[in-house]
Structure 1
Amino acid sequence: MHTDTLQSRLDFLREAEKLKDVLRSGHTSSGRPESTAEHTWRLCLMALVFDDALAGLDPLKLLQMCVVHDLGEAIHGDIPAIHQGAHPNKSEREREDLRHLTRMLDAPLRERILSLWDEYEQAASPEARAVKALDKLETILQHNQGKNPADFDYAFNLAYGRKYTDAHPLFSSLRALVDADTTRRMLGDDASPPRPRGT
C-alpha cells in the first residue's frame, strides 16, 4: 500500500477519534455520560456474542455495520432517540457528516464505508435489520444499567425500536428481558435483574 494511502487512513482515524468525545443521553453504571464510541464498542460485542443465533447472516458485515452506523456523529454529535422526531433531516445530515469525515480516504474505502452506512440506514439487508435491532437493544440495555439522572425517561424504552426488535425470535426474546429491566427501573428498583440459578 502506498505511503500516501497509509497516511490518509491514519488522518481519517485521527479525525474519527472525535467519536470518543461525543456524549449520549444515557450514563454508564458509574454515572458518567456514555460516549458514542462506547455504545459502538458494546454494539460490536453484542453482534459477536449473539452471532451463533443469527444463522445465515454475514458476521463480518454485521461487525462492519456496527462500526460505521454512528460514525458520522463524530462531526455534529448525537441526537438522543427521544428527540429525533424534532430533527427530520437527521439522516441526511449524518450522511453528509460521514462524507466529510471520510473525505481524505482513497475512493474504494470511502465508498465501502458509505455503502455500509447506506445499507444500514435504509435497513436494506438482513444484516442491516439485525444491526438496527441490536442498536436499539444496546441502547435500552445501557439505559437500564446506567446510573441516570432522577428524571430519566425509562418509559420511552418500552416502545423504542420495536419495528426491528419484534422481527426476529432472538431479538424478541432479548426484548422481553430488557423490557422487564425497564419496568423495574420505572418502579424504582435499581437492583440488578435476577439471574437464573445454575442446575
Structure 2
Amino acid sequence: MSENFTKMLEFMSLVGHLKHVRRTGWVQKKVAVGGGPESVADHMYRMAVLSFLVDPGAGLDKHRCMKIALVHDMAECIVGDITPQDGISKENKHQKEKTAMKHICSLVEESVGQEIYSLWQEYEDQSSKEAEFIKDIDRFEMILQAFEYEQMDMKPRYLQDFFDSTKGKFKTEQVKAWVQSLEATRNTTPNM
C-alpha cells in the first residue's frame, strides 16, 4: 500500500468518525428520540443542503457556502464537539481545532489540504459573506433541530435555551426571515 493511500485512508476514517460524534448539546439534554442525538456529520450535511437555498440575489457563492458547511466542524473528528459548558476557553478550543485541522489537511494532496484549511479558517475568522451566511445556517440548523426534537418528544419548549442562545446573533436577512418563520411555526404548533 502506498504512503499516499495510507494517509488518504486515515483522512477518510477521520472524516467518517464524524458520523459517530454526537452533538454535545443534545447529549447533555439527554435527547433520545429518533435513535438518539444527531451526529456532527448529520449537522454538517443538513447545513450543506440548506446552502442550496441561498438567495440568488444575496451575492453569495453557493458552492463556496456548501464547502464551508462541509468543513466547518471537521476538526471535531479529533477534538470532539466542544461546547461552552465544557469549560474550555474559546482560544484553547480554537488552538485544539487548528492543530487537528493541520493534521487532517496533511493527509491529502497538498492543494486539497490547503483548500480545506483555507475554508475552515475563513469560517473561523468570519472573513467573508459566505462564512457569515454559514455561521447563520449553523445556528439556524441547531434551532431547527431543537424544534424537531421538541415535536418528536412532545415536550413543548424544553429546548428553549438553544433558541435563547441564538437571540440577536443572526446577521443575514435570509436566515433572519427563516428564524422568524420557524419561531412563528413553533408558537402555533399544537402542544408547543
TM range (shorter): 0.7 to 0.9
RMSD: 2.8
Q: Which stretches in structure 1 are left out of the alignment for 5+ residues?
A: 191-199
Letter in 2 for 1:102: C
Looking at structure 2, the residues matched to 73 and 4 of structure 1 have their Cα atoms a distance apart, in angstroms, of 25
The alignment's TM-score, normalised by the length of structure 1, stands at: 0.78
Question: More helix by proportion, 1 or 2?
Answer: 2
In the alignment, which residue of structure 1 is the partner of 2:65? 62
Aligned positions of 1:112-191 closer than 5 A: 112-146=115-149, 147=152, 152-160=158-166, 162-163=168-169, 165=170, 167-181=171-185, 189-190=191-192
In the alignment, which residue of structure 2 is the partner of 1:30? 34
Looking at structure 1, the residues matched to 141 and 57 of structure 2 have their Cα atoms a distance apart, in angstroms, of 17
| CA distance 1:176–1:107, change in 2 (3 Å) | same
Measured after TM superposition, the shift of residue 94 of structure 1 is 1.4
Looking at structure 1, the residues matched to 115 and 62 of structure 2 have their Cα atoms a distance apart, in angstroms, of 16
Check conservation: 1:22, 1:78, Cα contact below 8 A.
Answer: yes
Letter in 1 for 2:88: H
Aligned positions of 1:20-99 closer than 5 A: 20-24=19-23, 25-26=25-26, 27=31, 30=34, 32-48=36-52, 50-53=53-56, 55-80=58-83, 83=85, 86-88=87-89, 89-99=92-102
Looking at structure 2, the residues matched to 107 and 149 of structure 1 have their Cα atoms a distance apart, in angstroms, of 49
| CA distance 1:73–1:11, change in 2 (3 Å) | same
Measured after TM superposition, the shift of residue 10 of structure 1 is 3.8
Q: Which stretches in structure 2 are left out of the alignment for 5+ residues?
A: none
Check conservation: 2:154, 2:191, Cα contact below 8 A.
Answer: no
Greater CA drift, 87-96 or 140-149: 140-149
Q: 1:46-75 CA deviation, whole Å, 9 max, x = no partner? A: 101x12445311111111100000000001
Return the match for 1:104 from 84, 97, 107: 107
Identity score, percent: 27
Measured after TM superposition, the shift of residue 44 of structure 1 is 0.6
Measured after TM superposition, the shift of residue 153 of structure 1 is 3.8
Check conservation: 1:23, 1:36, Cα contact below 8 A.
Answer: yes
The alignment's TM-score, normalised by the length of structure 2, stands at: 0.80
Measured after TM superposition, the shift of residue 148 of structure 1 is 5.7
Letter in 2 for 1:132: K
| CA distance 1:28–1:110, change in 2 (3 Å) | farther
Measured after TM superposition, the shift of residue 6 of structure 1 is 5.5
Q: 1:134-167 CA deviation, whole Å, 9 max, x = no partner? A: 010001100110146969542331341633x2x2
Greater CA drift, 122-131 or 176-185: 176-185
